[in-house]
Structure 1
Amino acid sequence: MAPYISSFVESKTRKGIKGEDIKWILYELDRHLAEKGHQACYIDRISYDSWYHATCGNKQVSTVYQKVSVMRRFLIYMGNMGLECYVPRLPRKHKSEYVPYIFTENEIKGLFAAADNLRVKEHHANSLMMVVPVLLRTLYSTAIRIGEAINLRNKDIDFEKHVIVLDNTKNGRQRLAPLNESLEKVLRQYIRYRNMLPVEGVMAPESHLFVNGLGHKLSKRGIGRYFRKLLQEANIPYKGHEEGPSLHNLRHTACVHSLVRMHRQGRDIYCCLPILSTFMGHVKVMDTEHYLRLTQNMYPEIIQMDASVTAGLGNLIAKSLLKVDDHGNI
């Protein structure tokens, strides 16, 4: 099976598709078949069912859909190579019921203030105190993902053109994140102090932009721990891993706040959504609508927009207003 798995992954990579998830799912398949002593150069119904029950049992619906989708594409690929395989039907696509947490403008100010006032009782060389304030402001100002932020290199910041160049994006496409005047000031200040670290190569173009006190790349887990401390300091309740608020909610919030600001400035909403979609790095405007989970109490002016524009957001707005009790009743 190895030649077919390798050629399938390579074919996806050549098309610009990130193959990490595909690699892991097919690695899981390869390991399962090896454990079962599978010798054939094809996969029949029995082999597929064995893999499915071993790797998809007790998994989230979205995870199962992803695994089966990759397997289905791989089995079709093998069929096109002349190896007749069993091709399963796709399960019903999972429709997420997740409603992201949208920070209020006062809560954002509270988070920034808490980050600026970070203190530790003991000095640790790998402390994140220097980087947390600028990282939060970057996430909120540019709406980039936390993974994109921690992968930024020094060369990706272009102060002359006032942009951040993002190469390692979720959809595999390069995009530019705009730098406003206030964020530029914060980044320049951070870089000036960061360059004082006694770390060789910290200023090199290929070195990471955001680093800890040892000059090492940041980790999502480490930033997440600091973020939960900031929530506590800002008196924002943390509801748990699944409910947040999370770092990624800064991206949701940036999207909502940007639309609100454009509306308050009297911008044409017909023009705002495509602009916002480009700002978020989305391929389709519909992808941006997913982020616009609004509450009437927070932003009543959005509800008053032209109905023809907000028709696509109606379901999202209505869903965010629903309350479910402990027994699942609405």
Structure 2
Amino acid sequence: MNDFPQMLASKLEDYIELRRSLGYAFRKQAATLRVFLRYVEDSETMGPLTQDMAIAFALSADGSGNCRARRYAVLRRFAEYLSVYDTRTETLDPHVLPRSRAVTPPRILNDVELAALMTESRHVSPHSEQRGQTLETLVGLLASTGLRSGEALRLDRADVDLVEGVLQVRRTKFRKDRLVPVHATTLNALRAYALVRDSAFPISRCQAFFVSLRGSRLSSAALYTAFHKACALAGLEGNSARAMRPHDLRHRFVVARLAAWHRENLDVQALLPLLATYLGHVRYSDTAYYVTGTAELLGLVAQRAFGEGGVS
């Protein structure tokens, strides 16, 4: 009798609970470990967890080399825990499948490109007005607030104040809640979406603000699929080294806000703490990661530093 999968399942859930008790959200890592469990069950391996098994699992993933490296890294740390209970567990080499540190720069859309993306978002599903308006509203929300896509998808109806225009963002990356006020135009878009959603589902099937075609909470996978389709329809996929991500809109928000402050001749350094708080960052350096030197932003900074006539 093969008891390895049963033992693995038990220890895997214990490990996930342990990591979460230490304050980690541990969502993606937990999903990876559960995929590994299904991999072990499907392959009917007798165990133990070995270097060869870990590499085979990592390489079975579709996607980039970094995706496979992340899989391996999650499994390597779990193996350290598992070895306490199953001494046959091999120590996994930390130098196998290293991650590339080269970071592809985000795609910062200009106003015309963003408008095209929102327009085409309405057309991702010709037979469903609700699906198109869901994506259009989400794209507009991410671009106008800089929310992480996961934060937007986790919004419940009670978290969205359609009167005052304030979002209650819960379970953020740093496990803190925050209030995010939205612009009047964003509030109007949220109200319009809520009307379409409630017309499609007069009796709500879940507490989520953004829902799928079935009325359940919209998933990250569904968002990414629809987003990439809208990008293709808007002609935004052919000019970039990699596909756009919803997260690129968070970068755009930071760049657009800094550019606006420079145009208004405001004290940007004094305002950075406010921006960091709005984004839900613990350190200002986290916000600096999102500052991409677009031509417009660099031009505005140079203009303020050297005056209209340039360097004298």
Pairwise same-fold verdict (TM > 0.5): yes
- CA shift at 1:98, angstroms? 1.0
* Structure 2 partner of 1:36: 45
1:101–1:249 Cα contact (<8 Å) kept: yes
1:29–1:51 Cα contact (<8 Å) kept: no
* Structure 2 partner of 1:292: 291
Determine what percentage of the aligned residue pairs are the same residue. Answer: 23
* Structure 1 partner of 2:208: 208
Q: Kindly indicate whether residue 194 of structure 2 is the aligned counterpart of residue 191 of structure 1.
A: yes
1:10 aligns with one of 14, 17, 23: 17
1:97-128 Cα shifts (integer Å, max 9, x gaps): 21111011232234445557x5987xx35742
1:96 aligns with one of 102, 115, 140: 102
* Structure 2 partner of 1:239: 238
Give the direction of change, closer, same or farther, for the CA distance of 1:218–1:58 in structure 2 (3 Å limit): closer
Q: Kindly indicate whether residue 33 of structure 2 is the aligned counterpart of residue 26 of structure 1.
A: yes
Give the direction of change, closer, same or farther, for the CA distance of 1:10–1:223 in structure 2 (3 Å limit): closer
1:16 and 1:237 map into 2 onto residues whose CA distance is 38
Show structure 1 runs of 5+ residues with no match. Answer: 40-46, 307-330
* Structure 2 partner of 1:163: 166
1:126–1:212 Cα contact (<8 Å) kept: no
Give the direction of change, closer, same or farther, for the CA distance of 1:115–1:5 in structure 2 (3 Å limit): closer
- CA shift at 1:179, angstroms? 1.5
Q: Kindly indicate whether residue 179 of structure 2 is the aligned counterpart of residue 176 of structure 1.
A: yes
Write the letter of the residue equivalent to 2:16: V
- CA shift at 1:281, angstroms? 2.4
1:94-173 matches, within 5 Å, as 94-113=100-119, 124=127, 127-159=130-162, 162-173=165-176
- CA shift at 1:286, angstroms? 2.8
Give the direction of change, closer, same or farther, for the CA distance of 1:244–1:25 in structure 2 (3 Å limit): closer
Corresponding residue SS for 1:131:
helix
Task: Give the paired residue count.
Answer: 293
2:153 and 2:115 map into 1 onto residues whose CA distance is 22
1:167–1:175 Cα contact (<8 Å) kept: yes
2:51 aligns with one of 49, 52, 55: 49
2:233 and 2:71 map into 1 onto residues whose CA distance is 40
Write the letter of the residue equivalent to 1:133: E
1:143–1:250 Cα contact (<8 Å) kept: yes
1:64-114 Cα shifts (integer Å, max 9, x gaps): 443343334334435667959654453355313211110112322344455
- CA shift at 1:155, angstroms? 0.6
* Structure 2 partner of 1:271: 270
1:238–1:244 Cα contact (<8 Å) kept: yes
2:180–2:278 Cα contact (<8 Å) kept: yes
- CA shift at 1:35, angstroms? 3.3
Write the letter of the residue equivalent to 1:38: G
TM-score where L is the length of structure 1: 0.70
* Structure 2 partner of 1:66: 70
* Structure 2 partner of 1:42: none
2:293 and 2:26 map into 1 onto residues whose CA distance is 34
1:201–1:207 Cα contact (<8 Å) kept: yes
2:231 and 2:86 map into 1 onto residues whose CA distance is 56
1:176 and 1:162 map into 2 onto residues whose CA distance is 10
- CA shift at 1:230, angstroms? 4.8
Give the direction of change, closer, same or farther, for the CA distance of 1:38–1:84 in structure 2 (3 Å limit): closer
1:18–1:172 Cα contact (<8 Å) kept: yes
Q: Kindly indicate whether residue 259 of structure 2 is the aligned counterpart of residue 255 of structure 1.
A: no
